[in-house]
Amino acid sequence: MPKTKKEEIIFSIIMVIFMAYTMLVYNISLNLGLTYNTFLIALKGLPTVALTAWLLEHFIVSKVVKEKLLS
């Protein structure tokens, strides 16, 4: 687990990218089926989804989780 603020940010970015891409592939494959094109479509949508997910995780979710863990 991350020990410093820099490690925390890098860890969050890596986790958000993998989770966002996986969920994009899953949701697109539910609509179109799992094909090679599914991975390309998900890759095109990744920057917007990953940025949104990271901002929400960093500024909202992590603060709530830290409060719950410390209480």
Model pTM score? 0.79
Domain holding 49, by residue range, is 5-70
Q: What is the pLDDT of residue 53?
A: 92
10-residue stretch averages of pLDDT, the chain, 71 residues long: 84 91 96 94 95 90 80 72
Contact present, 38 and 28 (Cβ < 8 Å): yes
- Sign of the torsion angle spanned by Cα atoms 61, 21, 31, 52: positive
Q: In one letter, which amino acid is 24?
A: L
Count: domains in the chain: 1
Q: What is the pLDDT of residue 71?
A: 72
Contact present, 12 and 57 (Cβ < 8 Å): yes
Q: What is the pLDDT of residue 38?
A: 94
How many C-beta atoms lie closer than 10 Å to residue 7's C-beta? Answer: 11
